[in-house]
Amino acid sequence: MISISIDNLVKKFGDNVALNGLTFRIEPGELFFLLGPSGCGKTTLLRNIAGFYIPESGRILFDQDDVTRLPPHQRNTGMMFQSYALWPHMTVAQNVAFGLVERKVSKPEIERRVGEALESVRMQSYASRKIAQLSGGQQQRVALARALVIRPRCLLLDEPLSNLDAKLRLEMRTEIRRVCKEFGLTAIYVTHDQKEALSISDRMAILESGHIAQIGDPESVYRRPLTRVVADFIGETNFIPGTVSGPTADGAAVETPIGVFEGVITEKDWAPKAGEAVTLSIRPEAWKLETAAVSKNCAAGRIGESIYLGEVAQYQFQSGDQALKIFELNPHPSQRRVDVPLFATTKPDDVVILRR
């Protein structure tokens, strides 16, 4: 296991600054995700770590080794691509062995390590098959075995599951985490799929225009976003404009068009003053529908549209001019009449106060 340190990394393409002074550290054995909207720099960062791009300035360290300007083959990283990049004319075993053959490993050692790699991804019985005979999920397992067989210092994954259907993505998420933990690999995983990141990552970084907007474990990033961009990108949320009316023990009280809401402040060293314009972020599942009002953190309104999805119902709740999205678990939407006044309530701990 190795740590990976990114120190003031800058990468440009012409006049476009793709990475703007990034600094952070990935711990040994950590499954670390890079997320963000298209063009934010996540794939560029991964390719700098792999050695496909050389930065204008800054350093990349594997433990204490400076690999910033080493070519890819000298970094000993395993790479999984979105396209799998498997050789169709070769068997499964030959595909997995390719990197070892290039490194001139002895034949008996190749056979042993290929067998171990295929066993680790539960594909040992497919060793003699051609790639065209495999399903998408099986091909993905072969690509993972090929990345592991060289015994990499770290594993780099560039949207590896984006070509799979929803069921296979769920299966492979768990499989990738299992393999990384069993091998003790430090892994960096680029994806646009927030559920993927929330379900299997140890920590994640949200990138925005070449900067890091937030780094943290899945729960802290989801429940305690630091900016509107992070709150909007990870999951769904309701944004409600308001004005601070005063401090509370854990945050502030905010006057909004739909009532007074108490919430928490996540940005360090920021204490909004009374009268300051702010934005509230409240996740759809944080609301609870009631038939009676409570004194605070309560919005009166009626259900407009309703979508029943089995385990959850999604409501559009209209409170004055504010449309709220509300998720109700284990719902009975037939009991939710659209013409009945209701009250949507939420706990202060589920209300995040952000800069406007």
- In order along its 356 residues, the chain shows pLDDT tens digits of 899 999 999 999 999 999 999 999 999 999 999 999 888 999 999 999 999 999 999 999 999 999 999 999 899 998 888 777 888 999 999 999 998 998 899 999 999 999 999 998 889 999 999 999 998 888 988 988 998 888 899 999 998 888 778 887 888 888 889 888 988 999 999 998 899 999 999 999 999 999 999 999 999 999 999 999 999 999 999 999 999 999 998 899 999 999 999 999 999 999 999 999 999 999 999 999 999 999 889 999 999 888 999 999 999 999 999 999 999 998 887 777 777 899 999 999 999 999 99
Q: 3-class DSSP state for residue 221?
A: helix
> Nearest Cα to 62, choosing from 306, 37, 51?
51
Q: 3-class DSSP state for residue 275?
A: coil
Locus of tokens 């083959």: 73
Q: Which residues contact 193 (CB under 8 A, 6 or more apart)?
A: 161, 162, 169
Per-residue pLDDT at 63: 95
Q: Which amino acid is at 131?
A: I
Element (H, E) at 155: strand 154-158
Q: Which residues contact 292 (CB under 8 A, 6 or more apart)?
A: 343
Q: Do domains 4-228 and 236-355 have the same CATH topology?
A: no
Assigned token pair, 18: 């793709």
Cα angle 171, 173, 174; round to 5? 70
What are the residue ranges spanned by the domains of the chain?
Answer: 4-228, 236-355
Per-residue pLDDT at 1: 84
User: What CATH number does domain 4-228 carry, 1.20.1280.50, 1.10.260.40, 3.40.50.300, 3.20.20.120?
Assistant: 3.40.50.300
Per-residue pLDDT at 231: 96
Q: Which amino acid is at 298?
A: C
Tell me yes or no: is domain 236-355 CATH 3.90.1310.10. Answer: no
- pLDDT single digits (tens) 226-264: 999 999 999 999 999 999 999 998 899 999 999 999 999
pTM here is 0.89
Assigned token pair, 308: 């029943």
Assigned token pair, 329: 């678990």
Q: How far apart are the first and last CA of the chain?
A: 42
Assigned token pair, 52: 């496909």
